[in-house]
Amino acid sequence: MKNLSLIFLSIYFLLTACQKAVTPPEPVLPVPTERQLAWHEMEQYAFVHFTTNTFTDKEWGFGDESPSVFKPTAMDVTQWTKTFKDAGLTGLVLTCKHHDGFCLWPSEYTEHSVKNSPYKDGKGNVVDEVEKASRADGLKFGVYLSPWDRNRADYGSPSYVEYYRNQLKELFTAHSPVFEMWFDGANGGDGYYGGANEKRKIDGRTYYDWPTTLNLIRGMEPNVIFFSDAGPDIRWCGNERGYVNETNWNTITPDTLYAGKGGIEKLLNTGEETGTAWIPAEVDVSIRPGWFYHEKEDSLVKTPEQLFDIYLSSVGRGSNLILNIPPDRRGLVNEIDVASLLGWKKLIDERFATNIALNKPANASTVRGNSPVYEAAMVTDGNKETYWATNDQEQTGNLEIDLGESKLISYVLIQEYIKLGQRIKSFSVEIEKDGNWLEVAKGTTIGYKRILRIDPVDARKVRLVISGSKACPVISNVEVY
Ligand code: FUL
């Protein structure tokens, strides 16, 4: 008896040792940082454009607006954050200062702010109020501070850069944590500039001395994600229409890119397969035609279906979505926008209600070292930290999920384990029909998340076919709806 236990124990240790011997795949560089991983998981959040433009009916204030126009009549920032939370958004980024230079907080460095407005008799601080409301609703808080300032007399000279940094110091001292800092590359040249009323050109590559500014902020807020056309943490997607390319690499070579440089839109939209840095794209788009509220656009608010399409072409292509929802002149998210947002959330909840692949058995063409640690069922176990992987030399492979019975399928969701880098270059999805495999969707990149809409079809078995990969495929999750 004693001998038998010893034999069993030895077998057990032998098996565990064999299992341990199967090493995980080497990462394909570059890989995301911890803060980028946390950002990927945020998926969709709000952009809030609100300033004097809301009251002057403009998109780009000239910089000569009187602070007295900033006069919301029924301001309630908790209505904004409740709406965003109910819509399934995970955070918000607020335009603390847009191109017109008007500050939503009482900055000590300028008179062009809420402190000289009728709002709360000059005692208001919209940045503070929005941050508090966000935290109360569990939303992460982010900051937009326009580098281009059409109000400042010294815009274009070194003292303005100092001014800009002082404002960042004010913001980052008063507010933490800030999950994202949004640097807008836009610069139209002309402005009020303290009464000069002229056109000013700056060299976007050198004027702001970004490395110094970013170091300054990083010193105050180590985990902040920097957005600009070219990164360094996340990049612009190259358009404001709500999509990233179907081929969407999280990698790009940033050496020659900088905020405001034209002609790089296509590159930003796809990224680069051979890119040297992990700089994923963020899709910025407004629920309305403009970024600020205009009554005349009330009939043009995007419908729930349009928002759903945008969701598929942003989050569904491995990007994050920053959806702009501009409060109206009352200081409220307009009822029309609220209805649309909640309708969108309902569509998402209905269409992705039950993952019919969850905990279903799966089989793969090959499994890394034949180890249970990397077996096919790791993609249906609902655990994002486990994954299916093949052996190192295998850059293709199939994975089959048995749903147990024939079900109507409309969406397939796939995720790579991006901690080991982005790998997949081409893949397809097939279903079994009368003993034959039928292709129902195909794609190129996957990345953090890929959602494929297919013509609704009945099937019991679904197969993921990886036909091209930079190295052995590493898939953490497959969901079927
Ligand atoms: C652009 C700006 O010019 C728009 O006004 C808006 O803020 C958008 C998000 O970025 O570059």
For the chain, domains (ranges, CATH) are 34-351 (3.20.20.80), 362-480 (2.60.120.260)
Ligand 1 atom nearest residue 292's Cα: 5
pLDDT at 228 (0 to 100): 93
Q: Report the separation in Å between the CA atom of 184 and the middle of ligand 1, taken as the mean of its atom positions.
A: 7
Enumerate the β-bridge partners of residue 180.
225
Instruction: Profile the chain (481 residues) by mean pLDDT over runs of 10 residues.
Output: 58 54 95 98 99 98 98 98 98 98 98 98 98 98 98 98 98 98 95 98 94 97 95 96 98 82 89 97 98 98 99 98 99 99 98 98 98 98 98 98 97 98 98 94 98 97 98 98 98
Q: Report the separation in Å between the CA atom of 186 and the middle of ligand 1, taken as the mean of its atom positions.
A: 7
Q: Report the separation in Å between the CA atom of 146 and the middle of ligand 1, taken as the mean of its atom positions.
A: 9
Q: Report the separation in Å between the CA atom of 196 and the middle of ligand 1, taken as the mean of its atom positions.
A: 23
Ligand 1 atom nearest residue 188's Cα: 3
- Which of the listed residues 182, 291, 324 should we mutate to test ligand 1's pocket, taking the one with most ligand atoms within 8 A of CB? 291
Ligand 1 atom nearest residue 185's Cα: 11
pLDDT at 257 (0 to 100): 77
Whose Cα sits closest to atom 1 in ligand 1? Answer: 186
Query: What is the C-alpha separation between 284 and 189, in angstroms, rounded?
Result: 23
Q: Report the separation in Å between the CA atom of 210 and the middle of ligand 1, taken as the mean of its atom positions.
A: 19
Instruction: Write the single-letter amino acid at 181.
Output: M
Residue 382 φ/ψ region, left for φ over 0, alpha for ψ in the -120 to 50 degree band, beta for the rest: left
Ligand 1 atom nearest residue 284's Cα: 9
Cα 297 to Cα 54, 77, 161, 293, 302: the distances in Å are 12, 22, 36, 8, 10
Whose Cα sits closest to atom 4 in ligand 1? Answer: 291
Report the interhelical angle of 210-220 vs 158-174 (nearest 10°): 20
- Which of the listed residues 184, 321, 323 should we mutate to test ligand 1's pocket, taking the one with most ligand atoms within 8 A of CB? 184
Q: Report the separation in Å between the CA atom of 185 and the middle of ligand 1, taken as the mean of its atom positions.
A: 8
Ligand 1 proximal residues by C-beta, below 6 Å: 59, 184, 186, 284, 291
**Enclosing H/E stretch for 126:** helix 126-136
Q: Report the separation in Å between the CA atom of 35 and the middle of ligand 1, taken as the mean of its atom positions.
A: 25
pLDDT at 16 (0 to 100): 57
Average pLDDT, the chain: 95
Whose Cα sits closest to atom 10 in ligand 1? Answer: 184
Whose Cα sits closest to atom 6 in ligand 1? Answer: 291
Q: What is the number of other CB atoms lying within 10 angstroms of the CB of residue 103?
A: 26
pLDDT at 26 (0 to 100): 98
Q: What is the number of other CB atoms lying within 10 angstroms of the CB of residue 117?
A: 24
Q: Report the separation in Å between the CA atom of 176 and the middle of ligand 1, taken as the mean of its atom positions.
A: 24
Q: Report the separation in Å between the CA atom of 402 and the middle of ligand 1, taken as the mean of its atom positions.
A: 47
Ligand 1 atom nearest residue 286's Cα: 9
Cα 41 to Cα 34, 91, 169, 320, 467: the distances in Å are 11, 11, 28, 9, 27
pLDDT at 4 (0 to 100): 57
Ligand 1 atom nearest residue 146's Cα: 7
Whose Cα sits closest to atom 11 in ligand 1? Answer: 186
- Please check whether residue 145 is in contact with residue 97, taking contact to mean a CB–CB distance below 8 angstroms: yes
pLDDT at 10 (0 to 100): 60
Q: Report the separation in Å between the CA atom of 223 and the middle of ligand 1, taken as the mean of its atom positions.
A: 24
DSSP-based three-state secondary structure for 315: helix
Query: What is the C-alpha separation between 187 and 178, in angstroms, rounded?
Result: 25
CB burial readout 179-191, b (16+ within 10 A) else e: bbbbbbbebeeeb
Whose Cα sits closest to atom 3 in ligand 1? Answer: 186
Please write the tens of the pLDDT for every residue from 245-294. 999 999 999 987 776 677 889 999 999 999 999 999 999 999 999 999 99
Ligand 1 atom nearest residue 60's Cα: 5
Q: Report the separation in Å between the CA atom of 103 and the middle of ligand 1, taken as the mean of its atom positions.
A: 16
Query: What is the C-alpha separation between 267 and 188, in angstroms, rounded?
Result: 23
Q: Report the separation in Å between the CA atom of 68 and the middle of ligand 1, taken as the mean of its atom positions.
A: 23
Q: Report the separation in Å between the CA atom of 82 and the middle of ligand 1, taken as the mean of its atom positions.
A: 25
Ligand 1 atom nearest residue 59's Cα: 5
